[in-house]
Structure 1
């Protein structure tokens, strides 16, 4: 078996020609090229001035007209002085089809070796080349890292939710942070950010002296034009005044969701139960970024910790528990995760065994810290047990599931503090905004920073295009329709040979092989002589196999979809995704994340049947990780006879 045709999956920074000129107000005297006279016609164009023009235009090459527009110089002057710079060897020219000549610096490293920030206010995007750590830290306070090309290029988006949850007490403080990050003042972008800042302060939920909940608006106009247009009798009983409505009991989460979707996040200031006091001390020291997460959570009282697998979200959540100092309910997707939370709490905190209870199909104990499954907590016959107890904090683990109909019912459990945890709070049904309305705003550190600082290893990702293992499956694929095509491609028997090849190529690696289909999992497990861990595997057997893998007593496991989120898989050196490419971007994140740990050298191989829709699925799933800073390669696979 051999590999060939290597290439890379990249991304486009998306810079449009119609937004390349910085606002005139942004041009301070210090940024202007040196001049010899006040007369415009005598302005001297230097190489530094040419670099400034490139920065304002957002391009490394410019026409003479582009330089003239960016610097507001006469076109005739620019033509003459560009020729002078070319004669001096400082810039070069190239004839192109769309314009007579474009110009660029002779030493392009002068342009690329330093940090450069380009702002696109209309698109609310910021493109940064070679950003310093300070710049990225400032940007993370009001912008979202949307894309990176893996070569020091970063694209940030300023979204409404980023402004709504910015960690500042005033807009002036936020504006100062923006100017520090951008190195300039962008009036158009600041005006939009200020409008969003104001939107986040138009509504709040408060507790009336008589105990019921009231929705308050900043003005009668905003109450009438927004809230009373969007809400109905399912949400509120009746108006109390021009700016106040009496909220129906249990409708708070729905009101927050409706107004959030209308572009008005609600400030929840209800006097919710804080629960009985419970002293919790951490036995480990939080990393700096984890402490930042906890500090931002403590200011808001709610939020979602977002970080890659291996970044320590669970430990940070324990830091939040210690801060709250009250009885805590932890909601998880499965009983396996409940057991693992129990073990981590005993190992990482001062809690004793009799202070922690589990409530699911295997155990039913409610204690000061209770770990329950979403399904159980949402059932009417069990929910009263949780409703009757006053929780100081509710933790929603793997909170990307919260918008689903089954899990959403658990969000009716109200607490003064709510905390979600997720490696990838995205949903293919585009309901991810509901995560932040039902739980809290996102709090996190961009993945690239964690990779650079060595807290989490960046795995190497490779898509491998595998030929059909036999003509029978290839012919069946050709005559199949829709979903059946996907199933046939996913179970391509040629993948069994490639799994064997990859395992033989990495004989010293601890490996996990992921599959979506039981039949395929059994075939691969038999071919490589390894256990197959699936939903059919009894809980005690799962536990034994995982412990053996964790203790390095077992080097290989084949795992079904049960390993994506329902259990805490140990980290591995090698992950092979044999099927599951039609799954979500979140699933790709979870599976790649099984190799993320401080030690480097991890590999992730994704097998896709060549010439089928699996190729597109693989790119879609992994481009999400590529935008987080990981390098993604592609390989064609040939199977030798």
Structure 2
């Protein structure tokens, strides 16, 4: 048989340019194939991305795509014939090539995969792409609409909401617009790891650890676990688990790279009909659906994204008696009020258990400290909870709070704006409670559900020579304390409040002495841990009702109470605190209303400068713009 590609054109084809182009196009399309894959404009864009410029020579394409120079020239010529590329002769090289529509390279959504680093860089992604990426990757950096960097971590694959690897691979290809084989192979290996172990309930009522194979049981579980965790083997792939050791087993194997699937038949508790009286936003509904599939999880989202309301959606799904654990009695009261406001439950169905009152009801809100005390534990252990909610669950790994996680329930749900721990124990959050479930912050900003605050670090001069000299001679933590209490910040707070006379403002301080000084200077009450609970509630209610436009508050406001929405937040001190603290304080302005401002004051030339940058840099990676401004010695005046 004659090969059509080498056939001599007929006289008719020679005389007809359009017919001749059909013959010419066939060999160029086939010649432009590599291992059966056609060379397309997308391949040129890939090469352009790797080389870092939109105009390429054949040599550059050959280098980027690792093909011979002659093949690159032929393929570029074929694309030019199709009208996808333009060629231009220049003096330094015979020919350069660029897209016919150059703006196609710069304006379109662009996804670039780096398999070895397991990173995905996306320019101008649409909401669909970001939603797909969020199902298997972590948003590590975002700098507005032009650049998003995702990292695919083991824990992202382990917690993906897919029933099979085929479903996950389909989502990956939709998000990436291509099949990244090396990345898929690694994701597949992590998927397999996540399905090697599971906890089940034996017919006699005790817990069993099961492994997929005798090899994985012997080489991993029986190497990592001891008599504190298991009684004895039942078979080559099963071990009898000691009562109460389940959480430790999950943590140990998770840290070994093998998350455990929890399929125990836990008690669901008494049924409790709950209906929401408010509609969930689309992303909140997605959170609840993912929680419903897994039976556990941690809702991760910025302040103002409605995690508490979404948690009530989870309560309505479970329809079982619920225990809510919170860091403080102030939050317990706010939870009780919110449940009455947004669900069909009546006040008599809701109890609080803490230092102020001790009532166990179908829905009980307790503090972590009380739930972890031996003399109170039996009250919670004896009741079968259908759902346990861990508010501000970033505290859970701490030695004081983790005892509360021993409480067993069929479903567990955590809530956190920023599950970051300075002791790097954040992975324990997800083994003790459940996998992370959330939406990237930038998506909420774009959709208008949460207002992106404007953050500005303001470097303030010393207020007097005495403090400056004391700082110079101090050492260690004392340097930080002196810089934090710089009296020059009092004038700067005054200036910022006067510059925004219509704003409802919250001023944060870390030190009682500084709080008292500001309270006297501004003639406002200072809300701290020393403030009686009834006085706290009164001040907060006045702020909510617009009867008060300024709150001065200590670190008790970071997590212990649900602060009202503010237009302006001024962080006068607290920069040596955690990254989570920075998120919480910035987040006090993150609500649907726009125009929110956050000013962070740092003493110029002190350690606070570095603390401020480090504390807020992770907010920059979430897409929030962080500015820096040097305050002149004349209070409030900035340098260009």
Q: Is TM > 0.5 for Structure 1 vs Structure 2?
A: yes
Match of 1:578 in 2: 572
Looking at structure 2, the residues matched to 482 and 106 of structure 1 have their Cα atoms a distance apart, in angstroms, of 61
> How far 1:639 moved relative to its partner?
2.7
Q: Using the TM superposition, give the Cα deviation of residue 57 of structure 1 relative to its aligned residue in structure 2, in angstroms.
A: 5.1
- Other-structure match for 1:350: 344
1:469-548 aligned at under 5 Å gives the runs: 469-548=463-542
Deviation at 1:620, TM superposition (A): 1.1
On the 8 A contact 1:34/1:45 being kept in 2, the answer is no
Structure 1's 186 and 77: CA in aligned 2 closer, same or farther, altered over 3 A?
closer
SS in 2 for 1:394: strand
Kindly state the Cα deviation for residue 66 of structure 1 after the two structures are TM-superposed.
Answer: 3.3
Q: What residue in structure 2 maps to residue 623 of structure 1?
A: 617
User: Retained in 2: the 8 A contact 1:144–1:157?
Assistant: yes
1:605 aligns with one of 599, 602, 605: 599
Are the structure 2 counterparts of residues 477 and 103 from structure 1 closer, same or farther at C-alpha, using a change threshold of 3 Å? farther
Q: Which stretch shifts more, 202-211 or 544-553?
A: 202-211
Q: Which residue of 1 aligns with 2:17?
A: none
Aligned to 2:215: 221
Which shifted more, 71-80 or 277-286? 71-80
Q: How many Å apart are 1:132 and its aligned residue?
A: 1.3
**How many residues end up aligned between the 2 structures?**
602
Cα deviations by residue, 1:541-590 (Å, 9 ceiling, x for unpaired): 00000000000000001110000000010010000001111111110110
Q: Structure 2 vs 1, CA of residues 367 and 48 (structure 1 numbering), >3 Å: closer, same or farther? A: closer
Alignment equivalent of 1:442, drawn from 424, 436, 439: 436
Cα distance in 2 between the residues matched to 1:307 and 1:94: 55
Is 1:239 aligned to residue 239 of structure 2? no
Offset of residue 64 of structure 1: 5.9
Tell me: higher relative CO, structure 1 or 2? Use CA pairs within 8 A at least 6 residues apart. Answer: 1
Q: Distance in 2 between matches of 1:438 and 1:301?
A: 13
Q: 1:283 to 1:407 in 2, by over 3 A?
A: same
Inter-CA distance 119–89: structure 2 relative to 1 (3 Å threshold): closer
**1:286 aligned to 275, 280, 283, which one?**
280
Deviation string 1:120-148 (CA, Å, 9 cap, x unpaired) is: 11111000001111111111111111101
Measured in 1, the distance between the counterparts of 2:607 and 2:247 equals: 40
Q: Distance in 1 between matches of 2:102 and 2:577?
A: 42
Question: Quick one: which of 446, 449, 452 aligns to 1:458?
Answer: 452
Contact residue 86 and residue 98 of structure 2 kept, 8 A: no
Query: Matches of 1:495 and 1:296 in 2, distance apart?
Result: 46
Residue 406 of structure 2 corresponds to: 412
Q: Give the structure-2-normalised TM-score.
A: 0.89
CA distance in 1, matches of 2:310, 2:89: 53
Q: Secondary structure at the match of 1:405?
A: coil
> Residues 338 and 172 (structure 1 numbering): CA distance in 2 closer, same or farther, change over 3 Å?
same
Q: Aligned-pair distance for 1:55? A: 3.4
Alignment of 1:176-195 (within 5 A): 176-195=170-189
Name 1:266's counterpart in structure 2.
260
Structure showing greater radius of gyration is: 2
Change beyond 3 A, Cα 1:460–1:61: farther
- Gapped regions of structure 1 (runs ≥ 5): 1-32
Per the alignment, residue 64 of structure 2 pairs with 70
Structure 2 unaligned residues grouped into runs of 5+: 1-24, 636-640
Q: Which residue in the other structure is 2:19 paired with?
A: none
Q: Deviations over 1:70-110 (max 9, x none)?
A: 34554478799999x9xx99779999xxx9x9998798644
52, 55, 63: which one aligns with 2:49: 55
Structure 1's 78 and 189: CA in aligned 2 closer, same or farther, altered over 3 A? closer
Structure 1 pair 51–90 and aligned structure 2 pair: CA distance change class (3 A): farther
d(CA) in 1 for partners of 2:444, 2:631: 33
Q: How does 1:74-473 map to 2 (within 5 A)?
A: 74-75=68-69, 109-473=103-467
Question: Using the alignment, how far apart are the partners of 1:102 and 1:587 within structure 2?
Answer: 53
Distance 1:535 1:104, change over 3 A: farther
Root-mean-square deviation (CA, aligned residues, Å) is 2.8
The secondary structure found in structure 2 opposite 1:267 is strand
Distance 1:378 1:254 in 2: 17
Distance 1:45 1:221 in 2: 45
C-alpha distance in 1 between matches for 2:27 and 2:471? 70
Q: Which residue matches 2:548?
A: 554
Q: Secondary structure at the match of 2:144?
A: coil
TM-score (normalised: structure 1): 0.89
Match of 1:7 in 2: none
